[in-house]
Amino acid sequence: MLQPPSPALLARFVAIVGPAHALTEAHATEPYRTEQRERFPGATPMVLRPGSAHEVSQILALANEARVAIVPQSGNTGLVGGQVPDKSGNEIVLSLDRMTKIRAVDAEGYTLTVEAGAILADVQAAAEHADRLFPLSLGAEGSCRIGGNISSNAGGTAVLAYGNTRELVLGVEVVLADGRIWEGMGSLRKDNTGYDLKQLFIGGEGTLGIVTAAVLKLFPRPKGQAVAFVAIADPAAALSLFNLARDRAGHDLTGFELMPRIGMEFVVKHLSGARDPLAAPSPWYVLMEISSGHSDEAASATLEDILATAFEAGVVADAAIAQSLADRKAFWHIRHGMSEVQKPEGGSIKHDVSVPVAQVPAFLTEAVAAVEAFIPGCRPVPFGHLGDGNIHFNVSQPIGADKESYLARWEEMNALVHGIVGRYHGSISAEHGIGRLKRDLLPGVKGEVAMSLMRGIKAAFDPNGILNPGKVL
Ligand code: ZN
């Protein structure tokens, strides 16, 4: 049974990290107990900002002994409420935001060793500085931190070519619930010595242990890239273009993102510095990126070959090809801004779903029709990683509707869309995780066998349930 922390216990926590790194004032803890979707406002008596795995270890040993809940937090950019405390005021937030060191970059071994609080963009930059690529890329990369990326098995736009975060981690250092430190910082590419424990912490959402450092996989940095913004009639045509591009480019196809017209309208209206790259409106768009191990010219040649074939086949209506690095960045800026531009349009009911890639067009037709019949006037803004079958099926409120009463139908609309996802044998959380948002949906989609295995794992790693309680399970 978890306990509220006593004043004496709080004083012992302060002694571990030092008074400057134990926040208690409401204004100081505010950024750590609220999240961007404003769905899970929390309370906490204290935010601890340890500076080392050793301090994390001391905090957890003490919390475990006293049966006090700890909520690990990294960049606080999660979308499912997994990183914020509940409203009880009994949960301590443990932020990794002081542990930002990049410990080593091994260009020859293609690895990078980093502390959990490093910002993703800084990790990318450190790799680039050594003429290497760390491919993980997502909208929040300027503020999300690698520990959170690992704990949520973050996806993003490079999964198509390089895989999820799970595929990018070679080793982890983890502090367990009882304070023991597991040094799993191997950098081996092949290691078949029993259960692969690190995989439990990747995507574990901080419920099994706190990742404090990791060894990441690096890749050769592409020597050239080419990006096109393509006008397309419908998702079926986008799928044809995807299959053609994959066939021609193979592993050099490093980006393939689908966006609807309404998303472009929102971008032009609300995203500063963005403009529509194409002259005429199109019902759908694809952002396609080709990389090359040789040069920009080689990447462009592949891209142009794909587009020429697609034009001839009537798959593509029009396309803008980036002429400069600035153009390429501007095209990606549109895609990465697709989430935030929905906020000024009022309430948005979100779904982060995946279906088999070939089923995306049929799923979209069915799901769009279903939500439009459910709430007439609602505005579906489905976009995302077509090449991974992962669609952010977000639905904006009807123009002029009351935001609160629209959002009150969140669960009903989720049930409707997730029902369709289920018929396509898809997932109700493709890349954002479970957190609190989808916790109660998990038993319904995993089944009894998987749920009892997960509960057994949780009990083995955290018998007193102090780590991120109420999340995932
Ligand atoms: Zn995404």
Cα 425 → chain centroid: 22
Q: What is the distance in A from the centroid of ligand 1 to the CA of 178?
A: 34
User: On the CB side of 42, how many CA atoms lie within 13 Å of its CA?
Assistant: 27
**Which of 37-46, 224-233, 452-461 has the weakest average pLDDT?**
37-46
What's the average model confidence in pLDDT over 141-158?
Answer: 97
pLDDT at 357: 97
**Could you tell me if 266 and 345 are in contact, meaning their C-beta atoms sit under 8 angstroms apart?**
yes
pLDDT value at 360 more than 90? yes
**Could you tell me if 207 and 468 are in contact, meaning their C-beta atoms sit under 8 angstroms apart?**
yes
Q: What is the distance in A from the centroid of ligand 1 to the CA of 16?
A: 38
Q: What is the distance in A from the centroid of ligand 1 to the CA of 384?
A: 6
Which of 339, 386, 94 is CA-nearest to residue 230?
Answer: 386
Q: What is the distance in A from the centroid of ligand 1 to the CA of 354?
A: 11
Q: What is the distance in A from the centroid of ligand 1 to the CA of 422?
A: 20
Which of 248, 350, 287, 285 is CA-nearest to residue 39?
Answer: 350
Which of 396, 433, 442 is CA-nearest to residue 203?
Answer: 433
Give the whole-angstrom CA distance, residue 226 versus residue 300: 5
pLDDT at 442: 96
pLDDT value at 125 more than 90? yes
Q: Please report the DSSP string for 237-274 in residue order.
A: HHHHHHHHHHHHHGGGEEEEEEEEHHHHHHHHHHSTT-
Cα 71 → chain centroid: 19
pLDDT at 175: 98
Give the whole-angstrom CA distance, residue 54 versus residue 179: 9
Residue-averaged pLDDT of the chain: 97
Q: What is the distance in A from the centroid of ligand 1 to the CA of 453?
A: 28
pLDDT value at 263 more than 90? yes
What's the average model confidence in pLDDT over 308-320?
Answer: 96
Q: Which residues pair with 319 in a beta bridge?
A: 230
Q: DSSP label at 472?
A: -
What's the average model confidence in pLDDT over 267-275?
Answer: 95
pLDDT at 169: 98
pLDDT at 243: 98
The residues near 149 (Cβ < 8 Å, ≥ 6 apart) are: 74, 120, 136, 165
What's the average model confidence in pLDDT over 322-330?
Answer: 96
Q: What is the distance in A from the centroid of ligand 1 to the CA of 334?
A: 14
Report residue 23's pLDDT band, with 50, 70 and 90 as the boundaries. very high
pLDDT at 131: 98
Report residue 205's pLDDT band, with 50, 70 and 90 as the boundaries. very high
Give the whole-angstrom CA distance, residue 194 versus residue 164: 22
Q: What is the distance in A from the centroid of ligand 1 to the CA of 421?
A: 17
pLDDT value at 173 more than 90? yes
What's the average model confidence in pLDDT over 152-177?
Answer: 97
Render the burial of 168-206: b for 16+ CB within 10 Å, e for the rest.
bbbbbbbbbbbbebbebbebeeeeeeeeeebebbbbbbb
User: What type of residue sits at position 442?
Assistant: L
pLDDT at 425: 97
User: On the CB side of 93, how many CA atoms lie within 13 Å of its CA?
Assistant: 33
Q: What is the distance in A from the centroid of ligand 1 to the CA of 383?
A: 9
Report residue 37's pLDDT band, with 50, 70 and 90 as the boundaries. confident
Looking at the chain, the whole-number percentage of residues with pLDDT higher than 90 is: 99
pLDDT value at 30 more than 90? yes
**Could you tell me if 227 and 288 are in contact, meaning their C-beta atoms sit under 8 angstroms apart?**
yes
pLDDT value at 38 more than 90? no
Q: What is the pTM of this model?
A: 0.96
